[in-house]
Amino acid sequence: MRVFRIVLIVCAAAAVGACGDDSKNDPPFVTPPESETVKVLDDEKLREGIKGVVESKFAKPGAVGEVKCPADQEAKEGHEFDCDIKVDGQNKKVHIRVSNEYGDYQVSIPK
Tell me what pLDDT residue 38 has: 84
3-state SS, the chain, equals CHHHHHHHHHHHHHHHHHCCCCCCCCCCCCCCCHHHCCCECCHHHHHHHHHHHHHHHCCCCCCEEEEECCCCCECCCCCEEEEEEEECCEEEEEEEEECCCCCCEEECCCC
Q: What are the tens digits of pLDDT across the range 3-57?
A: 333 333 333 333 334 444 444 444 334 444 556 688 999 999 999 999 999 999 9
Task: Say if pTM beats, i.e. exceeds, 0.75.
Answer: no
pLDDT: which is higher, 11 or 110: 110
Tell me what pLDDT residue 61 has: 85
Burial of 62 from C-beta contacts in 10 A (0-12 / 13-18 / 19+): exposed
Q: What are the tens digits of pLDDT across the range 55-75?
A: 999 998 889 999 999 999 999
Confidence of residue 77 (pLDDT cuts 50, 70, 90): very high
Tell me what pLDDT residue 60 has: 87
Could you state, in order of their start, the residue ranges of all structural domains in the chain?
2-36, 43-107
Tell me what pLDDT residue 45 has: 96
Tell me what pLDDT residue 34 has: 59
State how far the Cα of 104 lies from the Cα of 84, in Å rounded to an integer. 19
